[in-house]
Copies of this chain bind each other. A is one copy, B any other.
Amino acid sequence: MRDLFDSSVERLFSDLVTADAVLACEGGEWPTELWTAVEASGFTLALVPESLGGAGATWADVCGVLRLAGRFNLPLPLPEAMLANWLLGASGLAAVLGTLSVAARGTLRLENGRVTGAAVDVPWGRHVRHVVAVAAGAAPAVVLLPTEAATVVRTVNTAAEPRDTLKFEAVVPLASAALPTALSADVLKLGGAMMRAAQIAGALETVLAMATTYAGERVQFGKPIGSFQAIQHQIAVLAEHAAASVMSAEAAFAESDDRLARLPVMAAKICASEAAGIGAGVAHAVHGAIGFTHEHALHLTTRRLWSWRSEFGSLTDWSQQLGRALCGAGSQALWPSVTAGVLAAYEETAA
């Protein structure tokens, strides 16, 4: 399924997700036609079980889709919608058509059948009709909330992507279910981290290609700057980190199934967040002043890298979680955790 997904998404994005389209969205427009085209392709339901009307794809099947979303600077909550519908499906709830996002941070509580509190940093919160969240309460619950019931505080990240706060006051969810016991209360943060890791990997593929091309073309001191050793080595480092991001994202998706593979996902977001800064820095250093202009497309990707690395848990946040778990388990647990891809001691205490 992977190859089919990758090729159809690549065709779709390269037709529709032009630099102009991205810039228009950054100006505040909601790209109705683009969303309609993406939704028509079925990807928002890709991870929903066939029994619930989805494509029944695995996480491994869609890693390429997410990387491509990153590569093309897709200005839509497609990753969020896929994650949201996956969680609805995993919770036995029907998937949602139409615009959809996730709320991974905030103070939402479900009490007496109503949800109150703030959902913070909701991607495209002002534009979507629905939001999926895990609400606290007697037991954590997956809830589907209508955004029309929320007060919106607008916030925008460095890529001009909306990251809004939605405040709910005693709102009856459109659907709700107990969070499956196999999933942790931070499942949306973890899932969002996995999405962003893949998007960063794709974005790094873009800036690597741009830097390589530019270095081969731009002439200074009578030769292409790509023939200078200092430039070559910087681009080599960018390539190394792009490769590490791709690898770690692929591993995280491949190891996730009904539940998200916590250790590989943490590793992926940590590596991707580190790579994002390095990659953006090298790409700008290579491009010089031209890459610093609004006219050049480089910033479409680097501004995303600068925000995505911080979203759904920064390098520090996930590293500290992982480091605390490893120290808690003791040195003899380190290597077995690495080879098993599972931190046994952590899994016990985390949920």
Contacts and interface: CB of A to CB of B under 8 A. Distances in A.
Interface of A: 228-230, 233
A233 B231 CA distance: 11
Contacts of A233: 230
Nearest to A230: B229
Contacts of A229: 228-230
A209 B323 CA distance: 40
Nearest to A228: B229
Contacts of A228: 229
Nearest to A233: B230
A38 to B, nearest CB: 45
A233 B229 CA distance: 10
A221 to B, nearest CB: 12
A233 B230 CA distance: 8
A229 B228 CA distance: 8
A230 B229 CA distance: 6
Contacts of A230: 229-230, 233
5 contacts: A228-B229, A229-B229, A229-B230, A230-B230, A230-B233
A171 to B, nearest CB: 39
A228 B229 CA distance: 8
Nearest 5 pairs between A and B by C-beta?
Answer: A229-B229, A229-B230, A230-B233, A228-B229, A230-B230
Nearest to A229: B229
Of A228, A229, A233, the most chain B CB neighbours within 10 A belong to A229
A233 B228 CA distance: 12
Nearest to A231: B229
A228 B230 CA distance: 9
A268 to B, nearest CB: 28
A231 to B, nearest CB: 9
A36 to B, nearest CB: 48
A65 B130 CA distance: 71
